[in-house]
Amino acid sequence: MSKKDKEKEYIHDDSVGTMADVEAVMKKYDRESNTRIWEGWQKTVIHYIMAAFAIYCIIDAVFLTTLQEIRYSVFMGMIIFLGFLTFPVRKGVERVNHMPWYDIIIMLVGSGAYFFYAANAMTVIRLSARIMADPLFMVVGAIGILALVELCRRCVGLPILCVAGALVIYTLFSGIGLNQLIRTLFYTANGIFSTPVGVCVKYIVIFIIFGAFLERTGVADFFIRFANTAVGRFTGGPAKVAVVASALEGMASGSSVANTVGSGSITIPMMKKMGYRPEFAAAVEAAASTGGQIMPPIMGAAAFLMAEFTGIPYGRIAVMAILPAVLYFTGIFIAVHLEAKKSGMKGIPKELLPKVKDLIKDIYLLLPLIALIYLVGSNTFTMAYSATLSILVAMVVGIIHNIVPHFQATTDGGEEEEKGERPALSFRWILDAFENGSRSSITVVVACGIAGIISGCITVTGLASILLGTIVSLSQGIVMVALLLTMLCCIVLGMGVPTTANYCIMAGVCAPILIALNVEPVAAHFFVFYFGIVADITPPVALAAYAGSAIAKSDPMRTGLVATKLAIAAFIVPYVFALNPAMLFVNVTSVFEVIQICITSLLGIFGIAAALNGYLGRSLNPLVRIILAVGGLCMVIPGTVTDLLGLTALVLVVVYEYGMKRKEQIAKA
């Protein structure tokens, strides 16, 4: 039996779903996977249309200087057209090459509304508010809005539409006329075509395309093999592999559910095979995969919006995110290690782990990421140009990655030569990457468009000022209370709203409130960004945790609760940088200050993780767990006095537990 066959046998577990089950999970929890089925010439035509749109987006972002109103409306028209080509009216529509007549009409009329705006952009600008008197423009605007709403229902979901619908009703009842609302939402920069969609046109879509190319190079498999080599042999190896691999994959992908299902289909079976409880195995993968959206250099699409909202270059945003991300994954890693020790888990057998020399051969797969980090950090090129150059590097790397194994196989008289096939020399994968990039962009852009509608309603009604006054009044000017209220808003909203849209709304509503209470602006934006993300693992609507539970065949609610416990760092770290932005390298007085924050935060997270797990060399009694939790919290709260109190508590507990364990060992001997 070959090593690969042994590995397959090792990770096989009948209690874990097959690949068909994994696809079913994606369709259930990831709306992007519920797409029409096209075959034959129809599939080929749509394939080329998708690829052409991706190429157009790159050309638009890098080279075009056309009027903004024209560029944005043409872009949205194409998104509407492709969106209805891709997403059926409801889940479970499995008929091949079928598109109902009403979908064709909505697709053509809906996209036509945006193309009409593009063709009449100068008229809209010239007439300004007088456009409300023209019935044609009002009808076209209403059609464009409704088409976007329907597409959002199909590919994003109802929760965000409930928020948008409630705000639209509030706007109409607040005295804003229907025509004025249509003009604001469709024909101005305060609605659909506001900052979120603008940032999509400028660079979010290009980075999504880059991610699609990066996936095609095989870098995800490289990250999993690297994680196996680095930590697989240690106690609780498979779970640690899941954490490290997800952290690395997160550098190139920003989808919690996709990350969970992608790497979880490999890591969850291995964890269960090692003896981890199904809920724990699924929770580890969900918590680690969710952290992908906060892992530089790419992070999630919301990070690009943060750069636009704050006016801080994206490269600097990525640098600011490093320490919080490290603390997040370290917290999960510690929790996994303690659970492994508590349960007596072992590592993956050495003979099943990849060899270092094999990893070194594939180190070139990291070149696209290295190129992106260098180009973005150099500030020599625009974000769009940097991403485009990185895509070209990914193309070259992908070609090398496909050609080298081909020549090795044909030289050795392998299976490819026997069949007379040369699939590795085909460049179709490049078009496939463009198509996947376009397809993945649709949901993000649609969510950003609806977020623009929500922001437009908040702006035109002055609701932001009302909310500001309400929260300031409730918090009595106490920053900690305001942070807590903001956290609850982000989590509740994020339970059904995609991270990107969640951040757009919170950045316009809650971030200004925190800033008004003297929280550093970038720290306020990071705060709402983080809590929008953790909604993916926070019950009752924890999509990433539920996706993991479907693979592990575990209880979804229990999985969500365990994932929340594992990701406790994500609920603590934001308070640290909100109260002391030195963690984000803001207002840093000395290098020692940053080092102190890092060390004390790590120790604090260790104490909290041990308290939640109830294990530190041996099972902990309730009193010790409380002392550990309090000591850990003291250490993550900025301040020398609290750090010393927390450190004292942790040291006393560690010494006490070590002494008690020694006594138990002596007694047994």
**pLDDT 10s digits, 418-464:** 444 444 456 788 899 999 999 989 998 999 999 999 989 988 888 87
The pLDDT tens digits for 643-665 are 899 999 999 998 988 888 888 87
Task: Give the mean model confidence (pLDDT) for residues 24-31.
Answer: 56
Band the pLDDT of 215: cuts 50, 70, 90: confident
Output the average pLDDT for the chain. 84
- pLDDT, residue 669, reads 67
pLDDT for 282-325, tens place per residue?
888 888 888 878 888 777 777 888 888 888 888 888 888 888 88
Portion of the chain with pLDDT greater than 90, in percent: 26
% of residues, the chain, pLDDT over 70: 90
Cβ-contact 253, 212 below 8 angstroms: no
Confidence (pLDDT) at 337 = 86
Please name which of 521, 567, 172 lies closest in space to residue 330, comparing C-alpha atoms: 567
Condensed to tens digits (0 to 9), the pLDDT of residues 80-119 reads: 999 999 999 887 656 788 899 999 999 999 999 999 999 9
Is the separation of the CB atoms in 554 and 327 below 8 Å? no
Asked which of 7-11, 172-176, 227-231 is least confident by mean pLDDT, the reply is 7-11
19, burial (CB in 10 Å: exposed 0-12, middle 13-18, buried 19+): exposed
- Computed on alpha carbons and rounded to an integer, the radius of gyration of the chain in Å comes to 26
pLDDT for position 187: 94
Residue closest to 654 by CA, chosen among 197, 646, 129: 646
Measured CA distances, 326 to 71, 256, 292, 329, 605 (Å):
39, 17, 11, 5, 12
